[in-house]
Structure 1
């Protein structure tokens, strides 16, 4: 059942936190959090499909060029996240961060879902950083990046059926008041906050580790919000960068 997010975009972002034990794990971690309001996904203009298609094509070309020079696991941004996963006990060969998962699919063509998802997947590949999108209205309280106790509920699907699972103790997860919203930092999002065609306000998390710079992270956010302005007549965004260290 959808939850009501009573916080304004700016109040929500100002209340989002990264816990000290996550900062200790990776002092180079930074997150750019963006709330995008005014989406009109049921009445998209033709321009939005053109923008999404162009971004997907560019992202596929970018991934093919990168993978022609190096195996995916040796790309600097992918390698950094694989190291981060190992630091909290995850096996990156079994649970791949969202950027690596997209790059591995790009050779055969990136997945096409809808204009909103296609845009942020393309930005993820073009700017070489994990990027997740969720329905802001389904959050309960602010987003928090923590190391899990192992008792937090995680709403997902297994074998085609809704189930509640739990993260491993010490796993890095995003969560709100109701439970885990994304497991293993940026591996897999929960079912509860998933974007739908009814989403009017979206929440995006752009994750960065070295060698991504703050300027590069900001540029990815600029590219995302610029593309999303085609998904409504009054699309507006609010952002906040959280630095580690």
Structure 2
């Protein structure tokens, strides 16, 4: 079954320009070695990080504005795409984690789009993007030890029925639903604001899907684009 997340109405009040691409993967037994498609995508993303990109910069600036809108400080806790771009520029290369995660990190840097990934077998219910009350549990690690944290009241966060899965919209993912080498059912989400168009977001998603297919020829992929209008139809 394809995953269609639920976006609470308060999100659309704050950012009516928010839209996303939902990608569901089934039978995703990703091989451990890389593929030519992934190697080429990584090289392209690393080269792009060394160059100015007006479209990418404008999109990341919009995310900074969105973070300030719910009280976060983007210079201190930037969105995942901005943090990854900064790290890539500093190190000269993208971090290598696993082929699938490397693929969506490369797309994130190349397009300046936050990309998240969740293990659906560890997920409880439908993904929801909410304005947090502040008492929702968020399992994470501090100094190498597991701890339960909580979002700030008014913070935008992804959650499932057991708690927050990603804080500050797309800043930091929780430990419980992280993708591992054993993950087979996955949900990926690419998140966008104006000025990123649906066409450009779809392009980013298609690049990612092509690389995933090269890593895992047996994978089943389903995608959908969600914005304020289509969300009202799927609620």
Aligned match of 2:154:
170
Residue of structure 1 aligned with 2:6, choices 17, 24, 40 = 17
- Structure 1: runs of 5 or more not aligned: 1-8
Aligned match of 1:35:
24
The 5-angstrom pairing of residues 209-228 of structure 1 reads 209-228=193-212
SS of structure 1 residue aligned to 2:47? helix
**CA shift digits 1:165-216 (9 cap, x unpaired):** 0000010000000000100000000000001000112111100001100111
Query: TM-score, normalized by length of structure 2?
Result: 0.92
Asked if 1 retains the 8 angstrom alpha-carbon contact of 2:35 and 2:215, the reply is: no
Distance 2:217 2:204 in 1: 22
Aligned match of 2:46:
60
| 1:49 has 2:31 as partner | no
**CA shift digits 1:15-49 (9 cap, x unpaired):** x21111111111100011111112123x44x5x33
Detail structure 1 runs of 4+ shifted over 6 Å in the superposition: none
Aligned match of 1:95:
77
SS of structure 2 residue aligned to 1:152? coil
Aligned match of 2:127:
143
Residue of structure 2 aligned with 1:181, choices 150, 165, 175 = 165
Asked if 2 retains the 8 angstrom alpha-carbon contact of 1:38 and 1:233, the reply is: no
Q: What is the CA distance between 1:233 and its match in structure 2?
A: 3.1
RMSD: 1.7
Distance 1:160 1:141 in 2: 28
SS of structure 1 residue aligned to 2:84? helix
- Structure 2: runs of 5 or more not aligned: 230-235
Query: TM-score, normalized by length of structure 1?
Result: 0.88
SS of structure 2 residue aligned to 1:219? helix
Distance 2:207 2:134 in 1: 36
| 1:153 has 2:133 as partner | no
Distance 2:215 2:136 in 1: 34
Asked if 2 retains the 8 angstrom alpha-carbon contact of 1:34 and 1:204, the reply is: yes
SS of structure 2 residue aligned to 1:66? coil
